[in-house]
């Protein structure tokens, strides 16, 4: 129990320290826009799905796969294109490979040994069938895909990707409904949208996808995201099904999600990305909504960000999100083409400063915060410092009493832990 307690305390302190440095930038700032359709050779008309594996954004479009280098947010660079033989719908990253849900060839796999130049290593094409790949997501060494035909048929597939270049089909679930979203696994439950419902199935058995139940959305279901013990389901308006927006479901019982919140929005929402307590929802109508979801039961809008043309898909990390758009043919031809927009959503961190104190400088051979000592400062040093503050044995040694006073104020307390966390995270 002691080890769990000290680990929890340290993790909470680390989380507090990290979050305290992340100030939201409201309104968000568009840093740059790259027209992939114009700069590339394929003339792509839209980014249907994208995934970030920093410093590259992989954009699945119509047609082809584009790789954009985003190390400089103000100057994204198209570094590679790959012909996918038809329009590409959604990429997913895992095990050093890119798994691409594709149109006439439902699954294509690319090695990212060189992340700037994906190499095609696998096709899954069933010549006697006419299914198109819609969505893909990776869970450990499993890949889950949604497929649909041009008529009213769809299915969800499970693959073993222990050998990423040679996925092995494990099981599938078929049903009569061509509107299907990207499946998302959490534990032993697989969640996906099927037209106007949130559906969920048991996947504890590798050889079966067994339906459990579903919930009505009264709108066209889109992408699902999970954050903590909550599921976020975005949906768009559909004739006869007007309740588009965002629904939040509690996963207190993962096999029976319970809706706890509904953000009502008349939009053509398809994708969602969660980052830093915010949900980013491209709305399709020249803008992206940002919601505060720190209280999952009370999501609310905190920003509207204008995005050129029709924003469809989003991913991100750190201070930035990356939004893929489809061209707006109502605009002059010079604006046509798929676009990737880089948006800053968190403020730049100020340069850390320290106020000198009158406390005498300790012996130079003592490295502040190096509790072990091993010449390094890491999570183990944080854990030992937490032990001392909580009064757990052994009693601090003479070295630990000097090294533990990280902020040089003569006491060992919570402020020393926070200072050590800053050092471990490289902010001091």
- The predicted structure's pLDDT at residue 422: 80
Residue 241 DSSP symbol: B
Q: How far apart are CA 4 and CA 186, in angstroms?
A: 24
Q: Is 422 helix (H, G, I), strand (E, B) or coil?
A: helix
- The predicted structure's pLDDT at residue 367: 82
- The predicted structure's pLDDT at residue 194: 92
- The predicted structure's pLDDT at residue 126: 67
Q: How far apart are CA 175 and CA 229, in angstroms?
A: 28
Instruction: Tell me the sheet residues that pair with 142.
Output: 139, 160
Q: How far apart are CA 423 and CA 354, in angstroms?
A: 12
Question: Which of 58, 82, 84 is closest to 69 using CA atoms?
Answer: 58
The pLDDT tens digits along the chain (428 residues) read 444 445 444 454 444 444 444 799 999 999 999 999 999 888 889 999 999 999 999 999 888 999 999 999 999 999 999 999 888 999 999 999 999 999 888 999 999 999 999 999 999 876 556 888 999 999 999 999 999 887 778 999 999 999 999 999 999 999 887 788 999 999 999 999 998 999 999 999 999 999 999 999 999 999 999 999 999 999 988 878 888 899 999 999 999 999 999 999 888 888 999 999 999 999 877 899 999 999 999 999 999 999 988 999 999 999 999 999 998 877 777 778 899 999 999 998 765 555 554 544 444 457 888 877 777 788 888 888 888 888 877 888 877 888 888 878 778 888 888 888 888 777 66
Alpha helix positions (H), 110-249: none
Q: How far apart are CA 402 and CA 414, in angstroms?
A: 15
- The predicted structure's pLDDT at residue 370: 84
- The predicted structure's pLDDT at residue 427: 67
- The predicted structure's pLDDT at residue 128: 55
Give the rounded distance of the alpha carbon of 196 from its chain centre.
24
The domains found in the chain, sorted by start residue, are 2-6+352-424 (1.10.1330), 25-346 (2.130.10.10)
Could you report the per-residue pLDDT of 336-388, keeping only the tens digit for each? 889 999 999 999 876 555 555 454 444 445 788 887 777 778 888 888 888 88
Instruction: Tell me the sheet residues that pair with 61.
Output: 47
């Amino acid at each position: 129990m002691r080890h769990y307690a000290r680990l929890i305390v340290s993790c909470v302190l680390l989380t507090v320290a990290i979050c305290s440095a992340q100030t939201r930038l409201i309104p968000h700032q568009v840093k740059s826009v790259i027209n992939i359709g114009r700069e590339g050779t394929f003339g792509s008309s839209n980014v249907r799905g994208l995934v970030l594996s920093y410093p590259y954004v992989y954009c699945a479009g119509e047609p082809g796969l584009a790789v954009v280098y985003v190390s400089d947010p103000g100057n994204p660079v198209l570094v590679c294109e790959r012909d996918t033989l038809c329009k590409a719908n959604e990429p997913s990253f895992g095990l050093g490979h890119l798994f691409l849900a594709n149109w006439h060839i439902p699954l294509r796999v690319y090695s990212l040994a060189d992340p700037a130049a994906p190499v095609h290593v696998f096709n899954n094409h069933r010549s006697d069938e006419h299914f198109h790949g819609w969505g893909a997501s990776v869970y450990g060494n499993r890949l889950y895909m949604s497929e649909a035909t041009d008529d009213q048929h769809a299915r969800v597939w499970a693959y073993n990707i222990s050998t990423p270049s040679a996925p092995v089909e494990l099981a599938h679930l078929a049903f009569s409904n061509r509107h299907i979203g990207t499946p998302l696994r959490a534990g032993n439950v697989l969640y996906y949208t099927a037209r106007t419902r949130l559906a969920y199935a048991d996947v504890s058995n590798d050889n079966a996808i067994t339906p459990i139940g579903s919930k009505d959305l009264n709108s066209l279901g889109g992408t699902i995201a999970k954050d903590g013990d909550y599921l976020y389901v975005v949906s768009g308006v559909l004739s006869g099904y007007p309740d588009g927006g965002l629904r939040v479901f509690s996963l207190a019982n993962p096999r029976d999600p319970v809706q706890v919140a509904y953000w009502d929005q008349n939009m053509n929402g398809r994708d969602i990305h969660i980052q830093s307590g915010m949900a980013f929802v491209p709305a399709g109508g020249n803008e992206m909504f940002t919601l505060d979801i720190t209280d999952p039961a009370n999501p609310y809008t905190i920003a509207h960000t204008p995005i050129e043309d029709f924003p469809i898909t989003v991913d991100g990390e750190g201070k930035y999100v990356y939004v893929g758009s489809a061209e707006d043919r109502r605009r002059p031809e010079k604006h046509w083409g798929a676009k990737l927009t880089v948006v800053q959503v968190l403020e730049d961190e100020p340069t850390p400063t320290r106020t000198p104190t009158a406390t005498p400088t300790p012996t130079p051979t003592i490295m502040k915060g190096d509790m072990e000592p091993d010449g390094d400062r890491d999570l183990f040093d944080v854990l030992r410092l937490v032990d001392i503050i909580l009064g757990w044995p052994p009693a601090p040694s003479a070295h630990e009493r000097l090294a533990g006073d990280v902020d040089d104020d003569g006491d060992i307390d919570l402020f020393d832990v926070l200072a050590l966390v800053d050092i471990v995270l490289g902010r001091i």
